Amino acid sequence: MALIALHDVHKSYPEQDLLRGVSLVIESDTRFGIVGRNGSGKSTLLRILAGVDRPDAGRRIVRDGLRIGHLLQEVPVHAGRVRDAVRGGLRGRDEVLARMDAVHARLGASGLPAAESEALLGELAALETARDHLGGHHVEHRVEELIDGVGLPYPDADASTLSGGEQRRVALARVLLSEPDVLLLDEPTNHLDAFVVDWLEDLLLKARTPVVMVTHDRYFLDRVVDRVVEVEGGALRTYDGGYAGYLRGKAARTEAGRKADVARQSLVRRETDWMRRGPPARSTKAKARIDRYHALLDDAPPPATADLAFRIPPGPRLGTRVIRLRGVTLRVGDRTLVEGLDLDVGQGERLGIVGPNGAGKSTLLHAMIGERPPDEGTVEIGETVAVAAIDQQRRALSAGATVVEEIGAGGDHVRLGERAVRLESFLDGFLFPGGRKHTLVGKLSGGERNRVLLAKLLVQGGNVLVLDEPTNDLDLPTLRALEEALLAFAGTVIVVSHDRWFLDRVATEIVHLDGLGRARRYGGHVSGLLADIAAERRAAEASAAAVQRAARPVEQRAAPRPRRLSNWERRELDELPAKIQAAEQHVERLTARLADPRLYSAPADERASVEGEQRAAAADVERLYERWEELESRSPGGG
């Protein structure tokens, strides 16, 4: 059943036609990911689906009473405590509760006429139904669960003082709390660490709420959506599957288009030769052929959109000693972010830093390049190190400068390593054509600002690149271009990122900060690290459960023994130790498989199947233990 339908929708702005007669249907089982270049119209499409923007032409049809949850790309600043701001996602709940109190008070009045009492009871029933739709009796538990899930550690903090990334997590929690009929999410993973993104994936998969989202998180696309919608040239093109399916479909479409264009060009050459010979225009057939020739020229496909591609100059010669940390401790107030860290970063390494929000990733980055002294320990930076950096707050950009002024600093050439390049040509390569070069930085989209930062990175010419969340707001083609450039870079790279696909492709080593002061160096992929941490958590939970079983009160263990064991129960008791051992070995095998990074490049349903099997196997171990304890307590000498 259609929840939202767009038919022949057009949307234009003075400088660009974004949507040209597009149609899209959102149904009860829809799980769409929207992709496209920055500025192609992805957010506009989402806002039209949500009813926030109106199309210039065409129709938007919405099912009556549909509740839409919409996460905007630019979220408002919320006031009050964090938990109150999140609870505000249940719009109208406070009014419903206040009215229920008023109805209860009126019903408690003496001498109430029967007719009014009956009417109030009917209203109360309707109010109770409305309250159930707005979180019911357990809303506070759900609020706390979501605050913890999105990574907001201080629920009593003043929400208006939060950073932009934290405000975005508040907005996400509000939308999820409202439990709408359909979710429209614009970049839901921005400013979320890899662990929170993993949690969000599981939440969306379990909820099965119809979802349409704009995202450049490729693992997220692969695991959560079953169709990718690409916005390109004002049109929508759909591809079955997640990101991998999109890549396959896109490649097939591109190859088919290339073959069609080759055939078209061959026909154009043949018909052009015929026209040059001066065909007679008197016959009907000749006139028709001339008309087809002109139509063939008019129907030429638009020029292909340029892809960003660049090479990062190697910078000055880099020695073998780059950065060395010994016993480094970093604190903020009375909180220890990193304690006693020893770390060596060598020539040509690409080090990724991951961890929960607030774990100290950016703080560690600043300490590693000498911008922040450690509270304890030493940081040694090699004499040949020249740092080129992108920081998370994008402070290197001046909103009041044009793109040309920001990159060229008054000159008409820029130096890339040993070469001098014309500024205009250099900016063409970063997809700033014509007058776009003279746009104020403050008026650029997030993706365009990131392209300016990448251009500045090249001009800086360092041999150690330090990148703090470089992938935020980048479209897929720019992400791929950045990955290729970093893989080809001869120097050292240190990067903080929440993008698992980006880190799995680029980083040779991972440092994980757990938020409690501990750091571990990991030689595999982020996906494998997540699986290891999940396996460790499950093992700790299983161990705690075993301790809890062993610590049951003596009076429970010494309770009066029930009936004696039957013959078949004695045989069952004899067989249980072997069954328990086999079941535990099965859990261990599944846990090891979940820790294998290769599983995370397999189809999403395969990982989900293994996770489900592991949970069922762990529950089976618990059941066998409970049965063994029950039978043992009834056996001679048991209890």
Residues 534 and 490 occupy one common structural domain: no
Distance, in Å, from the CA atom of 629 to the CA atom of 639, rounded to the nearest integer, reads 9
* DSSP 8-state symbol, 490: S
Dihedrals φ, ψ of 303, to 5°? -60, 145
Residue 612 placed within a domain: yes
**Residue-wise burial string across 580-612, b where 16 or more C-beta atoms lie within 10 A, e elsewhere:** beebbebbeebbebbbebebbeeebeebeebbe
**Whether 471 and 553 share a structural domain:** no
Question: Are residues 507 and 540 located together in one domain of the fold?
Answer: no
Shared domain check, 573 and 502:
no
Same domain, 444 and 329: yes
Among residues 492, 524, 556, the one where a domain terminates is 524
| 360 CB neighbour count, 10 Å cutoff | 24
392 and 440 fall within a common domain? yes
pLDDT at 129: 76
SS3 content of the chain, % helix, strand, coil (to 5): 50, 20, 30
Host domain of residue 382: 321-524
Name which of 499, 473, 475 is nearest 73 in CA terms.
Answer: 473
Do residue 470 and residue 334 come from a single domain?
A: yes
Three-state DSSP state, 188: coil
Nearest alpha carbon to residue 542 among 635, 432, 618: 618
Q: Do 327 and 456 share a domain, yes or no?
A: yes
Would you say residue 561 lies in a domain? Answer: yes
Task: Give the position of tokens 């929000």.
Answer: 357
Report which DSSP code applies to 158.
B
Show the tokens assigned to 182.
Answer: 């359909």
* 257 inside domain: no
Question: How many helices, marked H, and strands, marked E, lie in the chain?
Answer: 20, 20
What CATH number is given to the structural domain containing 570? Answer: 1.10.287.380
Do residues 479 and 390 share a domain? yes
Burial class of 155 by CB neighbour count within 10 A (0 to 12, 13 to 18, 19+): middle
In a domain, 116, yes or no: yes
Listed residue (492, 276, 284, 468) closest to 367, CA to CA: 468
- Return d(Cα 133, Cα 146) in angstroms, integer: 17
- Whether residue 230 is contained in a domain is answered as no
Q: What is the largest CA-CA distance in the chain?
A: 113
Residues of the chain predicted below pLDDT 50: 555, 557-559, 561
**Residue 349 counted as domain residue:** yes
pLDDT above 70 covers a percentage of the chain that reads 84
In a domain, 48, yes or no: no
Measure the CA–CA gap between 93 and 81, rounded to whole angstroms. 17
- Phi/psi for 314 (5° steps) reads -70, -15
The total number of structural domains in the chain stands at 3
- 519 in the same domain as 426: yes
Q: Residues 557, 412: one domain? A: no
- 477 plus 542 within the same structural domain: no
* pLDDT for residue 558: 47
User: What's the pLDDT score for residue 1?
Assistant: 67
Per-residue pLDDT, 300: 57
Q: Which of 66, 100, 134 is the last residue of a domain?
A: 134
Q: Is residue 514 part of a domain?
A: yes
For the domain that residue 474 is a member of, what is the CATH number?
3.40.50.300
Task: Report which of 159, 204, 266 is spatially closest to residue 33, judged by C-alpha positions.
Answer: 204
Tell me, what's the pLDDT at 248? 87
Six token digits for residue 91: 């719009």
| Stretch (H or E) spanning 593 | helix 567-594
Q: Which of 134, 160, 189 is the last residue of a domain?
A: 134
